[in-house]
Structure 1
Amino acid sequence: MINLIGIVGTGAVESTNRKLLQYMKRNFSTQATIEIYELTNLPFFDKPVSQTAPEIIARLSQKIVEADGVIISTPEYDHTIPAALASLLEWFAYTTQPLRDKPVMITGASYGVLGTSRAQSHLRQILNAPELSGLLMPGREYLLGGSLQAFTAAGELTDVAKKEELDRYFGDFMQFVAKNR
């Protein structure tokens, strides 16, 4: 079984990106185990002289190193990723570098009609930095716009076409992970 780490790209209490990762965890449970991590309670990056990560960052880093891949589900705030997600990536780049050569899938849910297209573009640029060097599949973006209406009360996606798109994208990611293990 493929083991993945899912990172909710915001610390917001109500997050459709959390709902998206929870949906993926349930829906793809026969293909992969997805362990979801929250950004709440993580310290903001402060560039320690020792280049040592705080324990909470070090534990998440170790989980990522042990995993076969990572899914980051980001909202879009002011056309980019949230500060909490940027801070986590700065910790990773400056200290543990757990994303180096790790397959990473990017998804995003947003209230607006454009989904998270700009945030995902920025996240791809960040993940391509030499200190992060995540492995990203080209041409794959899962953009869930209108996310407030996208889920049922039970957490199921309502749009059949978006479900099918996510199924295809996740299948492609599973192949990508298998080739890069």
Structure 2
Amino acid sequence: MKKFIGLVGTNSDHSTNRTLLQFMQNHFSAKAEIEILEIKDMPVFNKPEDKGIPEIVQVMADKINDADGVIISTPEYDHTVTAALLNALSWLSYGIFPFVDKPVMITGASYGTLGSSRAQLHLRQILDAPELKARIMPSSEFLLSHSLQAFGEENNLNDQAQVEKLEGLFEDFLTFVTITNQLNHAHAQNTKEAENFSWETI
């Protein structure tokens, strides 16, 4: 059984993106183990000169390293991802590189109509950065709009069409993870490039 990390892309205590990951954790429990991780307790990234990594960051990096893939669920603030998510990714690409060649699935829930579409597009660009180098599942968007009304009893999705779409995307992600894990011949070089990359020497 595959083991995934579900990353809550916000520091909000009440987020429908957390609820979406909890739904996926339960709904797909027969196909994968999903451990949900929070970013809300991470300190503000301050680029420490000694490259010291806070324990909470190192623990998360280790869990991502050990996982078969990562599912990130992001809201949309000001047409982009949250500051908290960007902060977390900054820590997770500073002297540690758990996302290099890691399969990633992106989902998103928002209170409005567009379902975090701009934030998801921006997150794809961020995860493609030289220090992250994640493998993002292509041609896949799960955009949960009007998310305050989207969940019913026991945090189940109300719209069966949305459930079926998510089921299809999750099956695609399982296949994507299997294929991606075979594309590992350049992993050592990709990691080395991430380690040696510096914006200051460009």
TM bin (shorter chain)? over 0.9
Q: Per-residue displacement from partner, 1:42-81 (whole Å, max 9, x unpaired)?
A: 1111101122311110010000000000000000011110
2-side partners of 1:95 and 1:165: how far apart? Answer: 37
Q: How does 1:51-130 map to 2 (within 5 A)?
A: 51-130=51-130
Question: What's the TM-score, normalizing by structure 2?
Answer: 0.88
Moved runs in structure 1, 4+ residues, more than 4 A?
A: none
Is 1:12 aligned with 2:19? Answer: no
Match of 2:196 in 1: none
2-side partners of 1:162 and 1:18: how far apart? Answer: 17
Q: Per-residue displacement from partner, 1:11-61 (whole Å, max 9, x unpaired)?
A: 111100000000000000011000000112111111011223111100100
Q: Determine what percentage of the aligned residue pairs are the same residue.
A: 55
1-side partners of 2:68 and 2:166: how far apart? Answer: 19
Q: Point out the more displaced range, 99-108 or 46-55.
A: 46-55
Q: Residue 92 of structure 2: SS of its match in structure 1?
A: helix
Q: Residue 36 of structure 2: SS of its match in structure 1?
A: strand
1-side partners of 2:15 and 2:162: how far apart? Answer: 18
Question: What's the TM-score, normalizing by structure 1?
Answer: 0.98
Match of 2:195 in 1: none
Q: Per-residue displacement from partner, 1:133-159 (whole Å, max 9, x unpaired)?
A: 010111101100000000003100001
Is 1:40 aligned with 2:40? Answer: yes
Q: Residue 154 of structure 1: SS of its match in structure 2?
A: helix
Q: In structure 2, list runs of 5 or more residues that go unmatched.
A: 182-202
2:65 alignment partner AA: V
Structure with greater Cα Rg: 2
1-side partners of 2:153 and 2:49: how far apart? Answer: 47
